[in-house]
């Protein structure tokens, strides 16, 4: 790679520029803000600032990572697809199903390589979970519980969380879209989920205009019951799954990168790498996408897979029972 670009100037865009420099020390990196503004602040790991997609396309870019707000993904992706410039789009693919379907219609007319940035699939324990589920190690799968919770104000301590994308409905915020990794990898592991019911809460705790607490009940095509919980509220980060089968239970801790097999009389750790550098997920994702560009074997997340995640999210939004809940006052 000689010349690449990242659209967006937020935290994830900063990570991608840094990682591109790690992978390709001599690469030239162009940066573009989501709005096309000329930034007044210094931009790390950046050789050029561009202010328009036209300028970007005319600079002979070999790869673009779109890390702008999800509501901007469509307008940023279409010109690049038409120009046959490979694009890696940060999750979610777009903020609405309508935008995603337009993107898919455009993509079908071209051979431009496209991948979606659901990086958790590159976590080693995720790859191991895929292998274990496929091996039928716990027999008939009865029930799955998927849970993530992390206190939104702690995500970016140096910024007012009310001003971040996660808190802004117009930019594609809310727990459903921001924490859609869980929906993506659950369908990757288990196949299509059939929605049964959902409850979205907007608590007084954070004062947001988007959902900060989500509970989803679904079933697989094999009638496995699946519960998914997403929230912005838990003060200590939590990201775990539990798969209950006829022969035992698999417990997957994504934060500690660990898998435990529990049977009637034993509990064994099948995989554990707590010190594994989480940034390697992002590096592996970029390398994998470059393999796709070069027509090599890859595991890149496809546009149809990302749209399947968005379809389920749209169903949840259309069928949920949204309730307002009060926060609990801390009187310590």
Q: Note the pTM of the prediction, 2 decimals.
A: 0.92
Residue 23 sits in a domain whose CATH number is 3.40.50.720
Distance of alpha carbon 306 from alpha carbon 251, whole angstroms: 25
Which of 84, 112, 140 is the last residue in one of the domains?
Answer: 112
Give yes or no for residue 330 having a pLDDT over 50: no
Which of 80, 112, 144 is the last residue in one of the domains?
Answer: 112
Q: Is residue 148 located within the same domain as residue 266?
A: yes
Residue 159 sits in a domain whose CATH number is 3.30.360.10
Which of 62, 82, 112 is the last residue in one of the domains?
Answer: 112
pLDDT in tens, 184-218: 999 999 999 999 999 999 988 888 888 999 999 99
- The pLDDT of residue 172: 74
Find all residues with CB under 8 Å of 8, minimum gap 6, and list them: 32, 33, 34, 66, 67, 68, 69, 90
Please give the backbone phi and psi of residue 201, each rounded to the nearest 5 degrees, phi first: -115, 145
Q: Is residue 40 located within the same domain as residue 71?
A: yes
Q: Is residue 190 located within the same domain as residue 84?
A: no
Which helix H or strand E contains 13, and what residues bound it? Answer: helix 11-23
Rounded to an integer, the average pLDDT of 256-261 is 98
Q: Is residue 174 located within the same domain as residue 263?
A: yes
CA angle (24 as vertex; 54, 59 as ends), nearest 5: 15
Judge whether 293 lies within some domain.
no
Rounded to an integer, the average pLDDT of 14-36 is 96
Q: Is residue 138 located within the same domain as residue 200?
A: yes
Q: Where are the beta strands (DSSP E) in the chain?
A: 3-7, 28-32, 48-49, 63-66, 87-90, 114-117, 141-149, 194-203, 213-219, 225-231, 238-245, 249-253, 258-262, 267-272, 323-325
Please give the backbone phi and psi of residue 100, each rounded to the nearest 5 degrees, phi first: -65, -40
Task: Indicate the number of domains in the chain.
Answer: 2
Domain, as residue range, for 37: 3-112
- The pLDDT of residue 53: 96
Judge whether 300 lies within some domain.
no
- The pLDDT of residue 322: 52
Rounded to an integer, the average pLDDT of 22-41 is 94
Q: Is residue 106 located within the same domain as residue 137?
A: no
Residue reference for tokens 């274990």: 132
Rounded to an integer, the average pLDDT of 111-125 is 98
């Amino acid at each position: 790679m000689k010349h690449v670009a990242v659209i967006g100037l937020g935290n994830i865009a900063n990570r991608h520029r840094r990682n591109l420099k790690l992978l390709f020390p001599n690469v030239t990196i162009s940066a573009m803000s989501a709005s096309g503004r000329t930034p007044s602040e210094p931009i790390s790991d950046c050789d050029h600032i561009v202010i328009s997609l036209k300028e970007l396309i005319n600079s002979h870019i070999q790869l673009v990572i779109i890390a702008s707000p999800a509501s901007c993904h469509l307008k940023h992706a279409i010109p690049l697809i038409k120009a046959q410039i490979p694009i890696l789009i940060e999750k979610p693919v777009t903020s609405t199903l309508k935008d995603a379907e337009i993107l898919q219609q455009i993509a079908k007319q071209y051979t431009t390589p496209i991948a979606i940035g659901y990086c958790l699939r590159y976590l080693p324990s995720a790859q191991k979970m895929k292998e274990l589920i496929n091996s039928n190690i716990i027999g008939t799968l009865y029930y799955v519980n998927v849970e993530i919770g992390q206190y939104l104000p702690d995500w970016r301590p140096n910024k007012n969380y009310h001003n971040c994308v996660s808190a802004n409905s117009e930019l594609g915020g809310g727990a459903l879209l921001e924490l859609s990794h869980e929906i993506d990898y659950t369908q990757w592991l288990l196949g299509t989920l059939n929605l049964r019911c959902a409850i979205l809460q907007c608590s007084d705790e954070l004062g947001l205009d988007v959902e900060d607490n989500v509970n989803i009940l679904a079933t697989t095509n094999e009638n496995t019951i699946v519960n998914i919980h997403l929230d912005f509220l838990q003060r200590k980060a939590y990201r775990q799954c539990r798969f209950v089968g006829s022969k035992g239970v698999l417990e997957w801790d994504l934060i500690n990168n660990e898998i435990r097999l529990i049977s009637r009389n034993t509990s064994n750790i099948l995989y554990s790498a707590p010190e594994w550098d989480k940034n390697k997920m992002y590096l592996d994702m970029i390398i994998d996408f470059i393999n796709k560009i070069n027509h090599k074997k890859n595991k890149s997340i496809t546009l149809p897979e990302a749209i399947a995640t968005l379809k389920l999210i749209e169903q949840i939004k259309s069928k949920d029972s949204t309730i307002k809940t009060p926060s609990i006052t801390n009187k310590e």
